[in-house]
Structure formats: structure tokens, C-alpha cells
Homo-oligomer: A and B are copies of this chain.
Amino acid sequence: MLKIGELAALASVSRDTLRFYEKHGLITPGERNDAGYRLYSETDVHRISFIMGAKEVGFTLNEIHQLLELEVTKDEKSCHDIKQFVDAKISIVNQRLAEIKRIKKSLQTLSSACCGGDEPATHCTILEALSEQTN
């Protein structure tokens, strides 16, 4: 059984983060010692590990919440269900990707149209372009 600081060190997160995750239902350490300190089991360690892994691949805490439910009830779920969840996330990520690519392209168009010279910017095509109506 680990105390919060020990688990925090193990998982490279702050104690506050662990308490935050608990408050939001991501972990549920059942036991407390006589002083009221949280005690974390092997299962809790595994759960944190899962959470960190999911964060690493870009899931939000909300999504991780749903993933944890899949994980806990995995004998009632199928690979199909899990894969579908991941694929749904991929399509969200693809949307963000497309938006950022669009932005990058716009910025590059702006940048390359500007002479970049040392004369006053009163003629700057960037400033002009920005104030042009897009609708």
C-alpha cells in the first residue's frame, strides 16, 4: 500500500493531480489509514499507469473516463467496441489536424507575400490581407 506521495513519485505526477483525478472519478482509492491518509493498492497503480498511457496518446480526461469504463468491464466488451472508440478519437484528431494545416497554409501564404524589407510597413501585404473580409 502506497501513500499519495509515493504513488506521485512513482507516476511522476503531483499529489494534487492524484487528488484531482480522484475528485473527477478517475481513481478511487478505497482505503485510508488511521490518520485518514489515502492508501493505494496495486490496482490503483495500474489504473494510474493506464491514465498516463491514455494521456500520452492524446485522450482527454473525459475520454479517459470512458476508456476506464471499457477497461473495467472489458469482459463484457469486445475488441470491436474498444477499436471503435479509438477510431472515433482518430477522426477527431484528423479534424484538428486539418484545421491546423489550414492555418499553417494561410500563415505561409501571408508570410511569403510580404517583402520582409526594412522600409515602413505602411504597404505591408500581411496587414492588408488581415483586414480583408473573408465572409
Contact = CB atoms under 8 A, between A and B. Distances in A.
B110 A78 contact: no
Interface residues of A, number: 60
Nearest to A110: B86
A71 to B, nearest CB: 5
Interface string A100-135: 110110111011001111111111101101111111
Contacts of A76: 120
A49 B115 CA distance: 23
Interface string A62-94: 000001001100111111111100110110011
Contact of A46 (B97, B101, B122, B131): B131
Interface in A10-61: 12, 46, 49-50, 52-54, 56-58
Given A78-B117, A117-B80, A124-B74, A54 B107 contact: no
Nearest to A86: B111
Contacts of A104: 90, 93-94, 97
Nearest 9 pairs between A and B by C-beta? Answer: A58-B103, A53-B130, A50-B131, A57-B106, A74-B121, A83-B116, A83-B114, A77-B121, A86-B111
